[in-house]
Amino acid sequence: MLFGHPWELWFSLAVVGVLVYGLARNFAADMITMGCLALILAVSPFSAGKLLPSVDQAVAGFGNSALLTVAVLFVVVAGLVQTGAMAMVTKPIIGQPQTVVAAQTRLLFPVMGLSAFLNNTPCVAMFMPVVDDLCKKSKISPSKLFLPLSYASVFGGCCSQIGTSTNIVIAGLIVKAIDDGRLPKAFPQLEMFDITWIGLPAAVIGLVFVIATSKWLLPDRKPAISLSDDPRQYTVEMIVQPGGPMIGQTIEQAGLRHLSGLFLAEIERGENILPAVGPTERLQENDRLIFVGIVESVVDLQKIRGLQPATNQVFKLNDPRTQRCLLEAVVSDRCPIVGKTIRDGQFRSRYDAAVLAVARSGERINAKIGDIVLRSGDTLLLEAHQSFETRMRNRSDFFLVSSVQNSAPLRHEKAWIAVLILLVMVLVNLAKWFDILTAATLAGGLMILTKCCTAREARESMEMGVLISIGASFGIGRALEMSGAAQLLADNLTGAAQAFGGGPWAVLAAVYLATMILTELITNNAAAVLVFPIALAAADKLRVNPMPFIISIMVAASAGYATPTGYQCNLMVMGPGGYRFSDYLRIGIPLDLLYMLVTVALAPLVWRF
């Protein structure tokens, strides 16, 4: 015993201190969480009272349903992304906002509404690629949108009983408390929208706060892509697909006006050339669009529904498009077709690859792809089988060959299949035919079976750093529970409020604060389970209605905004948004306190003490 408490308690708190310090120093989240879990595993055998988790208990988080749900949802999202379905569905809603405030407003309100009826984790997973694409096209720093995306999903989750797993857990605890006699038999059970009385006002206030203060509280860390980022500027030709969705749209409506790192140089329409194309120019079937830009933007261009590469060589390649990717190849002076045009050199037949674009020391090449005379040093953007890089590694035709990340051609013809799978997943979950893990697993399997994404793409879509961080954080939270550190914290906070003569409002605030702090340190469900009996005991001692306390626990256990480990959604966006630990504190602490103020003020007004 140390200061009246077992040493395991102080050790667990010290490990959490190391974790917070590591995250504050911007160590990789997966490395620091696994390191802290390793410390617990190393010391656990020396705990005579079994107050630290065993190996099986510490790693049980890696089999937790929440983590597995996140993993399979990455596969579902891969199917939506590889078919272009997410862009197709979200484009009419989000459009092309040009300011951070406009982007946040168009994004966050739909996300909040959706997450009230669908678990917030899949909402974040589905919208992450949408946000990434939006940041590129609108030249907005990702750090301005990814954390608000996570917050909006949590806001919505607090608005209904099925919005987050914590609400369902609390509803179950109420039933158990009635059976155990801790609550009277006539105590009302939670209905679907009981929490909406608190969750909706808090969510609206939270959204307004995030949008109004993100200019100052969120970093602007990652600059948008610009044409100066890469000296290789490709000239690429695309054709408006006959019978496609872009026919009749203006340049502005088609989203070709503000392409990040890319500009539309001219349009060839039959025998006519339209230079300096205006935003109101309407696209026609078989228009040949000439773009100039960097490789990342050319990759994005290839994925736009309704455009197709101008070269017909793409459709003559032997391999199916699902097995192809884009590659960059620098032509060497030993290449046998240097000095010949791409057509005369029979590039496709020789290399089983199609040239999509050519970059030549930043100069504009005024020739159709097939008519370009290759020079040594030209950089070619190719579409070829994934094995092209390996095949060319030991040949002297190219100085350098490298694949372009996330460049597989989209399967637009399967977009509606992917959308249908997503809708079925949501509906069967809402109807409670399957839990979210089962529904998401079946949806992920269907994405692969219907070839919306390949097995390789499904594996590559899983963010292992995120999954490791979530799994390890469960083990650390388990140590806080078993050692008694979490219980000590909850007891002391609520006990202090009562000891100093605090009335029901003060004790309610203490219950909320205890739940909120535990949520930031351990899992939200564990925090709710720990504080629930304390709240019932406090309400019984004060002889007041326990419902305000229960509702406060529901909100506080989900509303963890101040740390990346406070909620799995916060961890999911940490890497893509480029966030540091201090970023969460800066905007999350005032948001935590704002939610606490709204909940503690409103809950006793809706459910009288």
Q: Say whether both 323 and 452 belong to one domain.
A: no
Domain for residue 547, yes or no? no
CB 23 within 8 A of CB 65: no
**DSSP character string of 160-194:** STTSSHHHHHHHHHHHHHHHHTSS-TTPPPPPTTS
**Distance of alpha carbon 546 from alpha carbon 540, whole angstroms:** 8
Inside any domain, residue 409:
no
For the entire predicted model, the pTM comes to 0.70
Confirm whether 517 is domain-assigned. Answer: no
Tell me phi and psi for residue 396, to 5 degrees. Answer: -95, 5
Q: Mean of the pLDDT values across residues 466-481?
A: 79
Most confident of 68-77, 176-185, 376-385, 398-407: 376-385
| One-letter identity of residue 234 | Y
Closest CA to 78 of 457, 450, 407, 419: 457
DSSP 229: G
Regarding whether 211 and 81 lie in a shared domain, the answer is yes
CA distances from 33 to 14, 149, 462, 473 (A): 13, 23, 18, 6
Task: Tell which of 377, 403, 429 closes a domain.
Answer: 403
Do 426 and 395 share a structural domain? no
Residues 341 and 440 in one domain: no
Residues 211 and 234 in one domain: no
| CA end-to-end span of the chain | 40
pLDDT at 1: 53
The angle formed by the CA atoms of residues 341, 344 and 347, to the nearest 5 degrees, is 85
Quick check: is 2 in a domain?
no
Are residues 118 and 105 both part of a single domain? yes
Indicate if the pLDDT at residue 212 is higher than 90.
yes
Q: Let me know if residue 317 belongs to a domain.
A: yes
SS3 of residue 354 by DSSP: strand
Q: What percent of the chain has pLDDT over 70?
A: 92
The whole-angstrom separation of Cα 523 and Cα 557 is 8
CATH number at residue 257: 3.30.70.1450
Query: 6 lies in a domain?
Result: no
Q: In this structure, are 124 and 233 located in the same domain?
A: no
In this predicted model, what pLDDT tens digit does every residue of 392-414 receive, in sequence order? 877 888 887 887 766 666 787 88
Give the pLDDT confidence score for residue 187 in this predicted structure.
86
Q: Is the pLDDT of residue 427 over 80?
A: yes
**Domain count along the chain:** 2
Per-residue model confidence as pLDDT tens digits over 90-135: 777 887 788 899 999 999 998 998 888 776 777 787 788 788 878 8
382 Cβ partners below 8 Å, 6+ apart?
A: 326, 327, 328, 329, 351, 353, 354, 355, 356, 388
d(CA 444, CA 458): 8
User: Would 312 be classed as within a structural domain?
Assistant: yes
Tell me whether residue 352 is in a domain.
yes
Residues 138, 263 share a domain: no
Res. 228: pLDDT tops 50? no
Average pLDDT taken over every residue of the chain: 83
Asked whether residue 334 falls in the same domain as residue 361, the answer is yes
Q: Domain of 281?
A: 227-293+306-403
The reply to whether 323 and 346 lie within a common domain is: yes
Contact between residue 365 and residue 358 where contact means Cβ atoms under 8 Å apart: yes
CA distances from 192 to 153, 164, 195, 591, 596 (A): 18, 12, 8, 25, 22
- The yes-or-no verdict on residue 226 having pLDDT over 60 is no
| Local confidence band at 600 (pLDDT 50, 70, 90 cut-offs) | very high
Distance CA 33, CA 550 (A): 31
**Which one-letter DSSP state was computed for residue 584?**
H
DSSP-derived pairing of the beta strands 234-240 and 353-359: antiparallel
Q: What pLDDT is stored for residue 312 in this prediction?
A: 67
pLDDT at 502: 67
In this structure, are 160 and 282 located in the same domain?
no
96 shares its domain with 137 = yes
